[in-house]
Amino acid sequence: VTRISSLGLLLHTRARPPPDCRCDMIFLSGCLLLSVLGFQPALGKVCNDYTRHGLDNNWYTRDGEKLPIMVLMPMNESALMSSISQGIEPAVQLAIQHIRESRQYSFSLITKIYDTECDNAKGLRAFFDAICYGPKHLMIFGGVCPSVTSIIAESLEGWNLVQLSFAATTPVLADRKKYPNFFRTVPSDNAVNPAVVKFLNYYNWSRVGTLTQDVQRFSEVRNDLTNELEKADIQIADTESFSNDPCVNVKKLKDNDVRIIIGQFDENLASKVFCCAYNLNMYGSKYQWIIPGWYQGNWWEQANSTNCTTKKLLTAMEGYISVDFEPLSAKQIKGISGRTPQEYEREYNREREQKGVEASKFHGFAYDGIWVIAKTLTRVMELLRHKERHDMYHNFTVDDREVGKMVLDVMNETNFFGVTGQVMFRNGERMGTIKFTQFQGKGDILRSVEPPKDRTFVRLQRRQINVPLYSILSTITILGMLMAGAFLFFNIKNRNHRLIKMSSPYMNNLIILGGLLSYASIFLFGLDGSFVSDKEFETLCTVRTWILIVGYTTAFGAMFAKTWRVHAIFKNVKMKKKIIKDQKLFIIVGGMLLIDLCILICWQIVDPLKRTVEEYSLEADPQGRDIAIRPFLEHCENTHMTIWLGIVYAYKGLLMLFGCFLAWETRNVSIPALNDSKYIGMSVYNVGIMCIIGAAVSFLTRDQPNVQFCIVALVIIFCSTKVSVRLFVPKFVSMRTNPDAATQNRRLKLTQNQKKEDSKTSTSVTSVNQANTSRLDGLQSDNHRLRMRITELDKELEEVTMQLQDTPEKTPYIKQNHYQDVNNILSIRNFTDGKDGEKSLKNHLEQKPQAQWGSMDPSRISRGQLDDINSPEHIQRRLSLQLPILHHAYLPSIGGVDASCSSPTSSPASSPRHRHMPPSYRVMVSGL
């Protein structure tokens, strides 16, 4: 706006140019504009009338010359940033005094302060007043307000002047192409950015966010900081800018999980920022705020325009770090003035208190700035004198441009230790010391606490099986395997025993081996990535699947085959003889295993199991640390896991249902020869039910490895243990209590429980075929009647034996008739369980004269002879005849020697009566 106005005024007055610059101040504005545009030489001569001002170009040749320095800064108390300038004047005067006292300089500096009032127009007027009305100034000292300083600094090259500022920190002035003649002893706002980056690296913070007030000064700092962060490979998670209300932007920073926040805003909006941070709980040990450090003391009280109380602001501000240049060096070193920074500070405070002004944070930079000017002018004077001495024509003259160029070169070579530290310039910028200060509202001692994290660190935590749980279940599994091994040893050792042999010991061995494989899979299911590597885990997935499937098929297949054999024998409707050997059962089990192997091989080739990781939502750390826990769980899966599991479950499910059906059909079969059929059926029930429950619960607890492992392990342990116990414990107990139980006569048991067994048999058969109910009932009645007839014949046999003892002369005849009747009795016994037996018995009874059974008249037997029947001699003779007969009569009923194969006196081949008799029917049943 100033430039446009000045240009308009210049065009307005161009028709009548004034004789010199002092005649019209409007024209001076035009002079400034033209100097900016590059038309400064002619105007420079007009505005610098040396003769009128009493100063020529020979100033460098005279000692004790008073050299004027132009000082530009706001002095009016009502002006913005005037408090800075008021505390600067004592430092400037103190520096001039110390320079004079040092007696190392042949001149004395004279400063005249021109009030810019921190206004662009008034600052331009003060600048032209200094040029046109004041003495010729060799350098310009000052520049506090960024806007005024930037306008004046842009025109310095046209006036051949060099400006040195002590308080202008705006980064705009760092542009050397635009401001080539501008220097400053105070570091710019951008100077803190490299220090901030090093500070971040020191605490290993690699992820930050920025919150910037939307003004040029802070935006430029933010842009430079962004470049520095990118160079240092530090991630900028979020960049937020605001004008008035920062709460929305602060909320975005929290949503993006920004923990380290670098703020660029003035103190008026800083109170709003921290009020929003308090409401959003973005303070404390989890967050770190980094803001500018040039705020005035107790700024939160003066600039609090929010609804938050001072207490809330202090709570949110607790621990924030401010970044600013160091106003005075902390080193105990005497500088160019011969004083340490601490000694200078004491003198400055004394001068300031005498004048009654407040201290300025820039006073040390102003003090060092005066020393920079003194050293620069001294060096320029030396160069000019040296050139003059070596001028061969002795008419050496120097113009303003050459002097300005020399001042510029000497300024770039400045290097000394001042009260603010080492003073040197790099492209016009001061290389100063940056100070980091932590705000503590609750104490004066820096607390040693753990620095916050630059993000919410996520710690992956494997959901694994608890070691105590794994140990307990492994111990139980080992005990189960030892028990199964003991049963296997018992079964192999007693495999030739009749009780074990009738229950198919080889099939029982398969059941035990399947249980052992199932037990072994428990150990593999409890292993995860905490015990094995990822590659080994994939192998483990395949191995444990194969072991469990093969073990289940081996055990269940053997039980299924034995149950099927019982069903095939006792549920045969035609009641025909059926012999099923163990070889056929092995074929059934082998077929099941072959199907399993085909499925597993195809599974492994087409779509093998692989290790997959399932991650879950973040959880708070249970120990209260500043981290988040992300649980993950390892699974054994593949692309088409559902299809393969469906195939396995469908195949096993059908077998299980069919096995349960067979077990239900044979639930009433209770035969000593098939001494474990009922236990096998119950085991099939248990295995089927437990597998269904275990599979369902295991699927539902997929995200809980401890529960899943516990259920799977308990199901395997329960099924394997229960099958082994039910199968072998009864055999063991039976062999211990009654070793000959397997050879006992089945007829004795049937006689004792005749009605009960007949009822069970009738009920069982009736359930198979309702059409044969009446026929079976008739056979049962005939069977019972024939058994009663056998009992009567036993009594008659005893009477015949007693008569033989009294009539020796009739012994051959009676003995012959007796053996004939005995054979008839044995034939009846062999036919009592079949239809042919019934017919033969009827024919035999019809053809045999009734008188033969009672050929001896009881009246002929004397009483004395009857008294000798119970004598020891008669009892011995009677037993010698009856025991062989009873042995051969009852032995066939339990699968022993046929009654037709032996007689009390001779072999079957030697007896003509035995040759023509029809063969007896024996029930040959191989045990389970």
Q: What is the pLDDT of residue 239?
A: 94
- Tell the burial category of 732 from Cβ atoms under 10 Å away from its Cβ (0-12, 13-18, 19+): middle
Q: What is the pLDDT of residue 60?
A: 65
CB contact at 8 A, 131 and 392: no
> Longest Cα pair distance anywhere in the chain, in angstroms?
194
Q: Which residues of the chain fall short of a pLDDT of 70?
A: 1-64, 303-304, 391-396, 442-449, 571-579, 667-688, 690-691, 694-695, 738-775, 777, 800-928
C-alpha–C-alpha distance, residues 607 and 644, integer Å:
9
CATH of domain 467-610+638-735: 1.20.1070.10
C-alpha–C-alpha distance, residues 680 and 562, integer Å:
8
Residues forming a β-bridge with 240:
211
> Domain limits of the chain?
59-187+338-431, 189-331+438-455, 467-610+638-735
C-alpha–C-alpha distance, residues 443 and 818, integer Å:
127
Q: What is the pLDDT of residue 200?
A: 94
- Three-class secondary structure of residue 557 per DSSP: helix
C-alpha–C-alpha distance, residues 771 and 191, integer Å:
109
Q: What is the pLDDT of residue 615?
A: 85
Q: What is the pLDDT of residue 214?
A: 92
> What letters, b where the CB count within 10 A reaches 16 and e where it falls short, cover 529-557?
beeeeeeebbebbbebbbbbbbbbbbbbb
Question: What CATH number matches the domain at 189-331+438-455, 3.30.830.10, 3.90.1300.10, 3.40.50.2300, 1.10.20.60?
Answer: 3.40.50.2300
Beta strands in 256-325 (DSSP E): 260-264, 288-292, 321-325
Query: pLDDT digits over 163-216, tens only?
Result: 999 998 888 898 889 999 999 999 988 889 999 999 999 999 999 999 999 988
C-alpha–C-alpha distance, residues 718 and 705, integer Å:
19
Residues forming a β-bridge with 418:
421
Identical topology for domains 59-187+338-431 and 189-331+438-455: yes
Residues forming a β-bridge with 292:
323
**Under 8 Å CB-to-CB from 65, ≥6 apart: which residues?**
59, 106, 107, 108
Q: Is 59-187+338-431 a CATH 3.30.1380.20 domain?
A: no
C-alpha–C-alpha distance, residues 883 and 526, integer Å:
65
Q: What is the pLDDT of residue 159?
A: 87
C-alpha–C-alpha distance, residues 558 and 841, integer Å:
43
Axis crossing angle, helix 192-202 with helix 216-231, rounded to the nearest 10: 40
Under DSSP, the state recorded for 136 is: P
User: What pairing do the DSSP bridges indicate for beta strands 260-264 and 288-292?
Assistant: parallel
